[in-house]
Amino acid sequence: MAHIEAFEVMEIQTLAREVEARGTDVIHLEIGEPDFRTPQPIVDAAKKALDEKRMYYTSALGLAELREAIAGFYLSRYRIEVPASRIAVTAGSSAALLLAFGVLLDAGDEVLLTDPSYPCNRHFARALGGVPCLVPVGPASRYQLNAELARRHWTAATRVAMVATPSNPTGTMVTPAEIADLAELVREKHATLLVDEIYHGLVYEGDAHTALEAGEDVFVINSFSKYFQMTGWRLGWLVAPPGYVREVEKLAQNLFISPSAVAQYAALACFTPETIAIVEARRKELDQRRCFLIPALESLGFKVPVVPQGAFYIYADCSALHPDSFAFAREILTRAGVAVTPGKDFGHCEPERHIRIAYTQPVARLEEAVRRISKLLETR
């Protein structure tokens, strides 16, 4: 437990609620969760299932029809055949991460992760006795791991190399060629590549390729949380290499018994043309927010060295405005009523220079946030 740190964004959210309780309007740009409601066809499918189905435990790997539907999604969206037998439905991608690390790590095994990256990854590895090795990354590699960096940080104990594309907190992506190089390197080292594709679908520039194209030895995790706006339903999935599926199943049986039945019946409505039309319209809306916010932040004195291509985050360098992003985030919250996340959450590589802004609110609210921060900066 000494290595498990608090999730700073939750602390900011608690402070934001206190500020709100004192009567101040707060614009929430801290949590990784847009303002959209779960698409109606998904909600309707859940209501229907509650009336018609028995909400029993499902198989530990999930409902057969949902695993088939996910396989069908890979075929229609990425033109890649992924057998349903390799897909495990999980309680959010959080459970998928736990299962992947669970089958891959022995005590003392090292996991290469980027710094900055999604904080829970290093804590999952720790909780399983693994050792997270944070590789400092910056604009030169678009805040991503590549084979050259991985090779430089590789040790005899390295067992897993992990990337997230698009990434949280930077929104940057790893190219298919870079994924292929990483897959080649881990093969050479008899290790494993784990790719987090939870922000797939929320890509605004270029096409997203799945890392499953790089070979069936790659582990891929994904989720219904972000693209399908189902954060609270707690449903995701893991695609495991064939030789690992039984191990994943045994661990899933023991850790979770099964994923939520009602969430799985609801998720069957995700891949219909109706739902895809809704989430695609929302993707366009998120892109408009992104296109507004990047130049607006730059005009305030923030730097955005690499344009985020996906997810809904901007990892902005605020060092020209304040020497300590942690104090700055608190100042912006308490004096301007705008909640953002300080870099501290995402690792140890210059966190004091960065804040993460999640464009999870409509453009009008983002405009208001920019006005408020501008006023704060003028009056300091």
List contacts with ligand PLP (CB under 6 A). 32, 92-94, 118, 164, 168, 196, 198, 223, 225, 231, 236
Q: Which is nearer to ligand PLP, 149 or 195 (CB)?
A: 195
d(CA 362, CA 169): 20
C-alpha radius of gyration, the chain, whole number: 21
Secondary structure element (H or E) that encloses residue 353, with its range: none
For the bound state, the minimum distance from the C-beta of residue 228 to ligand PLP, rounded and expressed in Å, comes to: 10
Confirm if 311 and 167 have CB atoms less than 8 A apart: yes
Q: Which is nearer to ligand PLP, 259 or 337 (CB)?
A: 259
Name residue, tokens 């801290």: 30
d(CA 70, CA 100): 18
Per-residue HEC secondary structure of 90-104 comes to ECHHHHHHHHHHHHH
Q: Which is nearer to ligand PLP, 34 or 92 (CB)?
A: 92
DSSP 305: S
Confirm if 208 and 173 have CB atoms less than 8 A apart: yes
Q: Which is nearer to ligand PLP, 211 or 370 (CB)?
A: 211
DSSP 342: E
DSSP 321: T
Q: Which is nearer to ligand PLP, 32 or 310 (CB)?
A: 32
d(CA 292, CA 298): 11
Phi, psi angle pair for 273, to nearest 5°:
-55, -35
Q: Which is nearer to ligand PLP, 146 or 225 (CB)?
A: 225
As given in the structure block, the two tokens for residue 369 are 């946030």
DSSP 143: T
Q: Which is nearer to ligand PLP, 191 or 198 (CB)?
A: 198
User: What is the number of other CB atoms lying within 10 angstroms of the CB of residue 25?
Assistant: 11
∠ CA 17-199-30, rounded to 5°: 15
Name residue, tokens 């093969």: 187
For the bound state, the minimum distance from the C-beta of residue 85 to ligand PLP, rounded and expressed in Å, comes to: 22
Q: Which is nearer to ligand PLP, 263 or 269 (CB)?
A: 263
For the bound state, the minimum distance from the C-beta of residue 120 to ligand PLP, rounded and expressed in Å, comes to: 7
Half-sphere exposure of 109 (CA within 13 A, CB side): 18
For the bound state, the minimum distance from the C-beta of residue 270 to ligand PLP, rounded and expressed in Å, comes to: 14
Could you give the maximum distance between any two Cα atoms of the chain, in Å?
A: 61
For the bound state, the minimum distance from the C-beta of residue 90 to ligand PLP, rounded and expressed in Å, comes to: 8
d(CA 302, CA 321): 7
For the bound state, the minimum distance from the C-beta of residue 367 to ligand PLP, rounded and expressed in Å, comes to: 25
For the bound state, the minimum distance from the C-beta of residue 169 to ligand PLP, rounded and expressed in Å, comes to: 8
Q: Which is nearer to ligand PLP, 32 or 342 (CB)?
A: 32
Query: Shortest Cβ contact with ligand PLP: which residue?
Result: 92
For the bound state, the minimum distance from the C-beta of residue 200 to ligand PLP, rounded and expressed in Å, comes to: 11
For the bound state, the minimum distance from the C-beta of residue 193 to ligand PLP, rounded and expressed in Å, comes to: 16
